[in-house]
Structure 1
Amino acid sequence: MAPLLALLLGFGVVLELAARPVDVSLATLFPTERQAKTAVVINQVLERFHYRDFELSPAFAVATLEHYFDGLDPNRSFFLDRDIQRFLGSASRLDDDLAQGRVDVAFDIFRVYRMRVDDRVEFALGVLEGDFDFNKSEHYQFDRTKAPWPRNEAELDELWRKRVKNDYLTLKLADKDDAEIRKQLRKRYEGIRRRIHQFDADDVFQTFVNAYTQSLEPHTAYMSPSTSENFDISMRLSLEGIGAVLRADNEYTVIQRTIPGGPARQSGMVQTGDKIVGVAQGVDGEFDDVVGWRLQDVVDKIRGPKGSVVRLQLLPKAEISGGGRMREVSLVRNEIKLEDQAASSYVIDGPENAPDLRIGVIKVPAFYRDFRAESDGNRDFRSTTRDVRKLLAELQDQRVNGIVIDLRGNGGGSLTEATSLTGLFIKEGPVVQVKDSFGKIEVETDPDPELVYSGPLAVIVDRNSASASEIFAGAIQDYDRGLVVGEPTFGKGTVQTLVDLNRYVPGNELDLGRLRLTMAEFFRISGGSTQLKGVEPDILFDLGYDSDDHGERSLDNALPWSSIRPASYQTFNGVDLNVLRSRSVERTARDRGFRMLTRQGRMLTEIEARDLVSLREDERRQESKRRDKALKEERNEFLRSRDMEPVDEDADPIDEEALEKQQDVIDAIQVDEAARILADLIKHQGGAERPRAAMRD
């Protein structure tokens, strides 16, 4: 899997490598005694404590090598097929070598890789000196992650000729002149070589060990001593930044998601799937082209003190491999305050199918808990459950007829909060089961017997609702306490812990680093895991996306779905889902907002399925204009149907306040339908749900 990194927010772990400004000699790229000892300890920890049964074998060792090749060269643009076959052919005793801590093969492979990079950069710089014919009909395969390794230098030359031509055309389509394009690409290619020359022995070892751990499972990862130190620094600064979770995707840094309350989310200009292609400091600093940079190096450029300005050049997700215009966004780095992530509420007066009803909506961006204030003895510390409890009381004072809990984009957080929040809607009982690597099962139960809200309830989720969100939504669904509507959730059902490897070598004076270890799995009270499958909504919003290409389902070696014995719990009265589904399908089919979202989803799914792009300038311009026009026309038609004039995103400066209001209207499309579904439930099935006498066990 491509590593994820939360920019100064504490969401995730730094898996990439710290930048080093020196050219490392090839003569120093050999394994050390400390690394050999670390490899042995990691083997022992994985075999003893990892949630998945693990035993080092020849097949696993070969899979590690294959992951290592893909980790170094994900787009298969440097290694030759003969390089791959030579090292795989000599891997018959690799499992024994790894068991003994011998990792020489990792360094042998890296030295070949560095030579291949040097060769390709020299070739690319040579191609860049020539001229390009953009009237010729040819195509470039920009995504080669599943392509065969090149058989010879001639194939590599052709691949790189087209790559340089594509890179030039991409910048030309962004209205850069010839001199500027050649200067930028020269710096880009030289930068690739420079960064590879900065890999030291620790970097090589960490990259190889992560290929090893991710051959087992995608969330287990090793941090070298230097990376561990960088991680600690990022945690101490964890509440300052732009508020975005990033991931590496081939040579691009991609926005995985934005964090509620952060500058990126609040700008309205940074979207999931956008590619960061340039970073500049201050209001007039020069942009650094960051295509081909390591993730951590990009983060180091974006990271900075509160109140300072960072500017990003973004390539929208809808642009195939740089097929059209870039977007520039200026952000002021800021502290991500708890209040900015806090739950909030509003009331929908009279859904169109029930003008006499009022539906309360509670937006829960994260499952937060102010652990510092709690440990300091502050009885009024902030938490999701406490804030939602207050909002429920306020909404009931406003005499709402039902409540929608909005968990879209909620990536999780505190398990304690997921458990206690569920407890506001049930009187008592289990919420989630946790099974550890030794097979022991613990049941987290509602800590408070008070039933705070017993009325009609719906929970709306999407493809980015993960972890604690899935626990809450799954429990509400299992109890038949409310309706779950929206998209299938992310499917993150595993639990990680950070292990200090030094504790397993008493008296050791060498720092071995740390291991982020998967050591448990969440199971719903009905017995099924939230892993992989996530939570399937009772009423599905089909927005045109390929659910198998997102979330846990898209990751290599993800743990499979499994089940255990159900817990004992009392359900509520169920509802007639068939009637509610059919009415929702009828409404969404004629709803302009849903038509817009579905068309956008289908177009983005179609784009993601492609791996070829034309190298003819007129075709590229036409394709980009076609997509842009299709997306804008559908969106603008919808906005005008809501009496809102669309914002001109090409204006300078852009009206950010109007843009935020426009996004609020788009975000409300699914919530409004959730309110209509809940109104159907209230009108046609008696509303409030009552406990059954039956027990499930």
Structure 2
Amino acid sequence: MLRNLILGLSLISVVACGAKPRVDLAEENLQLRPTTQHEVIAKEVANLLENFSYKRVPMNDSISNIVFNNLLEGLDQGKNYLLKSDVEDFQQFKNNFSQDFKAGDLSGAFYIFNKYSDRYLQCLNYALEQVDAKHDFTTEETYTSFREKLDWFTSDAELKDQWRKRVKYDLLNLKLTGADSAKMDLEKHKETLRNRYKNLISQATKTNANDAFQVIMTSFTDAVDPHTTYYNPSFAQAFNESMSNTLEGIGAQLQMENEMVTIKQIIAGGPAFKDKTLQINDRIVAVAQGNGEFVDIIGWRLDAAVAKIKGKKGTVVRLKILPAGAELSTAPKIVTLTREKIVLEEESAKREIKVIKGEDGKNYKVGIINLPKFYIDFDAVRRGDQNYKSTTRDVRLLLDSLKKDGVDAVLMDLRNNGGGSLQEAIELTGLFIDKGPVVQVRDTRNRVQVDSDQDSGVAWDGPFGVMINRFSASASEIFAGAIQDYGRGVVLGSTSYGKGTVQNAVDMSRFISATNKLLIKASGEKDTDTPNGAPEFGQINITMGKFYRVTGSSTQHKGVIPDLSFPTQYSAEKFGESSEPSALPWDQIKPSTFVKVSDLKGITSELNKIHEARMTKSPAYTFLLEDIEEFNKVDSIPSVSLNEVKLKAEREKNRIKNRDRVNKQLSFLGLPAWKEGQPQPKLEYDFVLEESANVLTDYIRLHKK
């Protein structure tokens, strides 16, 4: 049943990227070519997407154009490798990609991949030559690393000039970044850079047909739906391991963006989560083991970078971090973490109590439950274990303990909760409502199933609030939406992610016919990269359903809009489902029959007025607005000065600005100032949580009236 599916925001540690008659790859003297297995799989995936997925997208010119653009963006998003003439040459495949895949023809896609690979190696070899060239750090010129909004290079000379500037910037950056490199001379920096480029070249030469096939298939599935993904055997095994019980490392899911390893999810309970320094979209530019030297990982293959970052429990890793939204001229900060064994089943709900002084001068106890995911031990359930672990069971116990402690209100914190078990989202809602529908699910045949809470009674009937943000997704949105629709509590924060779809993970061997399996075997193209235990033909995570609130409104695309909103730097245009071009649209079906607990429109209107008045006097609110403004300041086409004096002055200005800002916040919290020579102190103050608790005290007073 759909009810028992695992749902969630799928942020996977893979490269995020993405005809005419068959091209003779042999004539082009290109290195990589598709195997018979690749061709069979491409054909079957096209059939699944066209005939069995929720979207059922026809393989036509329109979808082919999107696949083409995805592939180009996935390979060279920053436009640093390909020439305009290359892209014009590729146009011959633009309108036929999906039709070719349907026919099992991958020659056009591999032609593009191989051309890109050639350009990539040419650029890196030229960069290696430029390391020993003379660079004048007194001239007035700038370097633009991310050229997505600019045109492709029109000549080889333009491309080479870009890479001359790249090498010059890398050398200058090594001179100016961190105390450990400031003591080194230019020759030492050159040696560091030579090793970096040699390593990138070495990694590039190890790229194989399976790597190319994964990039190509991702560009294909992303064109249909952002949550439908094909994984080749090794990627499938990595995905399934990430969904299993334990991980060892820092507790973050990583993705490659513009040649930088980027944090895309922080796993609750892990070292990164506990440290609270790392943020989503921070970029890891270098890694050091313990007290060892930093190794630059810019441009590395993701799997190679991850191998440096992961490690055994108890070992220390240091990371150089370029914060999310920060310009290239910003000096990286250093974060030290001790790796742990992360037991995902133990990402349990936790509680705390805050005593808040209300506007009426009285003290109120607000119980806060932090829920990082919607979890359930399915194995224990299948074994018939009566004491299986689940979100609802844990939260019920926490509510009981909060009631014993005499709390006046409860606040459920679902920020950054990417989802989990649909069953748990339904049952958790039942702790706050007395029976009734919670969510509706429409399948590929347009059949609608209404999933309801069947248990009488509630575990908490007092004032209640739910906190969400842009990274609250799927099951979180189902819960928050139901609480809002029933009028059972106030939803606070920022608009949620907008993932209103459900995926099935399916082993591709189910769709490969016996004839095609024999054909693959007869080809003699043995796949030596398939890990033991991995799905032989990979797997596809395919969208098979869509969620709707009890009002009939979809959670897809629009997400859940809070009753009381906080400003956020994560805009809908750049983050969340609405930023995905291939996302399914918002729509509506018939509402379920349900009885509202109360109508909170009047109260929420009053809450907003009180909140806004309080914010005009809040230094913390000012800090939040400044953070958002700074985050969104980055130019649409960011560039950095290659004049040493100017870049050094700019970095010093940013350093002083950051110190002053941190000290203002420390002063507000009554803490000692951050002095020169000391490591940057951690600011644990959670303004959104504190103000949400304040809002609940307002809610208590208004509710009594």
Aligned amino acid, residue 153 of structure 2: P
Summarize deviations over 1:413-448 as a string: whole Å, max 9, x none: 211111111111100111111222222222221132
8 A Cα contact 1:280 1:286, kept in partner: yes
Per-residue CA deviation, residues 166-224 of structure 1 (Å, 9 max, x unaligned), is: 22222222142323322222222223322222122222222112111111122222212
> What residue in structure 1 maps to residue 3 of structure 2?
none
The corresponding residue for 1:594 is: 621
Q: 2:428 aligns with which of 421, 426, 431?
A: 421
Contact 1:545–1:605 under 8 Å retained in 2:
no
Separation of aligned partners in 2, 1:372 and 1:390: 22
Question: Aligned partners of 2:563 and 2:658: how far apart in 1?
Answer: 29
Equivalences for residues 129-144 of structure 1 within 5 A: 129-144=132-147
Alignment counterpart, residue 72 of structure 1, candidates 72, 75, 84: 75
CA contact (8 A) 2:113 2:212 kept: yes
Deviation at 1:596, TM superposition (A): 0.9
1:24-423 alignment, distance < 5 Å: 29-91=32-94, 93-175=96-178, 176=181, 177=184, 178-234=186-242, 238-281=246-289, 283-317=290-324, 319-336=326-343, 338-423=345-430
Q: What is the rounded CA distance, in whole Å, between the counterparts of 1:345 and 1:330 in structure 2?
A: 25
| Correspondence for 2:665 among 627, 635, 638 | 638
- Give 2:704's match in structure 1, choosing from 658, 664, 686: 686
Distance 1:106 1:547, change over 3 A: closer
Q: Over residues 486-518 of structure 1, what are the superposed CA-to-partner deviations in whole Å (9 max), with x where a residue is unaligned?
A: 111122222122121211123225543211212
> In structure 2, do the counterparts of structure 1 residues 447 and 309 end up closer, same or farther at CA, with 3 Å as the change threshold?
farther
- The residue type equivalent to 1:520 in the other structure is G
In structure 2, the residue matched to 1:531 is: 556
State which of 589, 592, 613 in structure 1 corresponds to 2:640: 613
Deviation at 1:91?
A: 4.3
Structure 1 residues 618 and 565 mapped into 2: Cα distance closer, same or farther (>3 Å)? farther
Question: Compared with structure 1, are the counterparts of its residues 50 and 600 closer, same or farther at alpha carbon in structure 2 (3 Å cutoff)?
Answer: same
TM-superposed deviation, 1:320:
0.7
Name the CA shift for 1:353/1:157 in 2 (closer, same or farther; >3 Å): farther
Q: Which region of structure 1 is more displaced relative to structure 2, 83-92 or 102-111?
A: 83-92
User: What letter corresponds to residue 676 of structure 1 in structure 2?
Assistant: N
- 1:349 CA drift (Å): 4.1
Q: 1:632 to 1:574 in 2, by over 3 A?
A: farther
Map of 2:544 onto structure 1: 519
Q: CA deviation at 1:68?
A: 1.2
Could you tell me whether the CA contact under 8 Å between 2:68 and 2:97 is conserved in 1? no
* Counterpart in the other structure of 1:603: 630
Alpha-carbon distance change, 573 to 268 in structure 1, aligned in 2, over 3 angstroms: closer
Could you tell me how far 1:233 is from its partner in structure 2?
Answer: 4.9
Given residue 645 of structure 1, which amino acid in structure 2 is its aligned partner? P
SS in structure 1 at match of 2:154: coil
SS at match of 1:51: coil
Q: Give the secondary-structure state (helix, strand or coil) at the position aligned to 2:163.
A: helix
SS at match of 1:35: helix
Say if 1:348 and 1:361, in contact at 8 Å, map to a contact too: no
RMSD: 2.6
Give CA deviations for 1:358-407 in whole Å, capped at 9, x if unaligned. 22222222212222333333322222211211221222222222221111
Seen in structure 2, the aligned counterparts of structure 1 residues 585 and 356 have a Cα distance that, compared at 3 Å, is same
What is the percent sequence identity of the aligned residues? 35
Residues 507 and 540 in structure 2, CA contact (< 8 A), matched pair in contact too? yes
Contact 2:311-2:339 within 8 A present in 1 as well: no
> Equivalent residue for 2:4?
none
Supply the distance in 1 between the matched residues of 2:29 and 2:190 (Cα, whole angstroms).
30
Residue 600 of structure 1: how far off its partner (Å): 0.8
**Closer, same or farther: CA 645–620 of 1 in aligned 2, 3 Å:** same
Runs of at least 5 residues in structure 1 that lack an aligned partner in the other structure: 1-8, 18-24, 688-697
Aligned match of 1:584: 611
Post-superposition offset of 1:92: 5.0
SS in 1 for 2:633: helix
Contact 1:351 1:675 in 2 (8 A): no
Alpha carbons 1:324, 1:621 under 8 Å: kept = no
Query: How many aligned residue pairs are there?
Result: 662
What amino acid maps onto 1:674 in structure 2?
Answer: S
Whether 1:441 and 2:448 are equivalent positions in the alignment is yes
SS of 1:98's equivalent?
helix
Q: Secondary structure at the match of 1:348?
A: strand
- Are the aligned partners of 2:245 and 2:343 in contact in 1 as well (CA < 8 Å)? no
Structure 2 regions of 5+ residues with no counterpart?
A: 1-7, 17-27, 521-535
Partner of 2:525: none
Checking the alignment, whether the CA contact within 8 Å between 1:473 and 1:484 is kept in structure 2 is: yes
2:356, 2:694 within 8 Å by CA — same for their partners in 1?
no
Which SS does the other structure have where 2:606 is aligned? helix
Amino acid at match of 2:211: D
Q: CA deviation at 1:146?
A: 2.7
